[in-house]
Structure 1
């Protein structure tokens, strides 16, 4: 395999990974929007918030690996956002907050930047 062919595969796989990340974030946003509109049972609320929490935990773990190709400063900034998302999802699940709007907006911003 030539270097150019390898580079194309790597670029393509990165593009596919971003596509999967966008899909995962979109699903989380859809679930959060149902919460915002009051269309979710208590169990669905808990499952939706746990989904968002697990998703961001995966992102944080991936960003923490030294092999991650993103610049260190960008990784640190996204990790900070992720920690806030996890904390806010926990606050909503524990009924210490009822404002899901910021959580939706942050997830949209990140998804749209991918």
Structure 2
């Protein structure tokens, strides 16, 4: 089975790649907002939302660290830092149920909006 790298997809169809990224962030934000609205007692919903965000950022950070990634080094570094913070914050949210998801929502909204 042939698998395209993320950079190859963006090279061939950058608008499609950015749209897929926006869709992934929209899904993450929908899950986070829903879990936040339900409160800390919605453990399963919080876990699903946070797990999705962690998986999303694991994928993004992996791609950003790839030497073939065509983004400028400074931007890549900034995005990796944001991704690492997001994964740490996601872990903190899971271990402290009363912790708000608002910081994760705010940061991921900013990243999603930057994809326009």
Q: TM-score range by the shorter chain?
A: 0.7 to 0.9
Contact 1:33 1:104 in 2 (8 A): yes
Q: Which of the pair has more CA radius of gyration?
A: 1
Change (3 A) 1:46 1:10: closer
Structure 1 match to 2:5: none
Query: 1: distance between equivalents of 2:106 and 2:42?
Result: 22
| Residue 51 of structure 1: aligned partner | 52
Is 1:100 matched up with 2:101?
yes
TM-score normalized by the length of structure 1: 0.85
Deviation at 1:18, TM superposition (A): 0.7
Deviating runs (4+, > 4 A) in structure 1? Answer: 9-12
Query: What runs of 5+ residues in structure 2 fail to find an aligned partner?
Result: 1-8
Counting matched residue pairs gives: 106
Helix, strand or coil: the match of 2:108?
A: helix
Which structure 1 segments of 5+ residues have no match? 1-8
- 8 Å Cα contact 1:63-1:75 kept in structure 2: yes
Residue 66 of structure 2 is matched in structure 1 by 65
Q: Counterparts of 1:1-114 in structure 2 under 5 Å?
A: 13-38=13-38, 41-95=42-96, 98-114=99-115
Q: CA RMSD in A?
A: 1.9
Measure how far apart 1:75 and its partner are: 0.2
What does the per-residue CA deviation read over 1:14-72, in whole Å, with 9 as the maximum and x for residues that have no partner?
Answer: 11111001000000001110121116832121111111000001000000011111000
Q: If the length of structure 2 is used for normalisation, what is the TM-score?
A: 0.83
Asked if the contact 2:93/2:99 (under 8 Å) is kept, the reply is yes
Contact 2:36 2:46 in 1 (8 A): no
Contact 2:28–2:52 under 8 Å retained in 1: yes
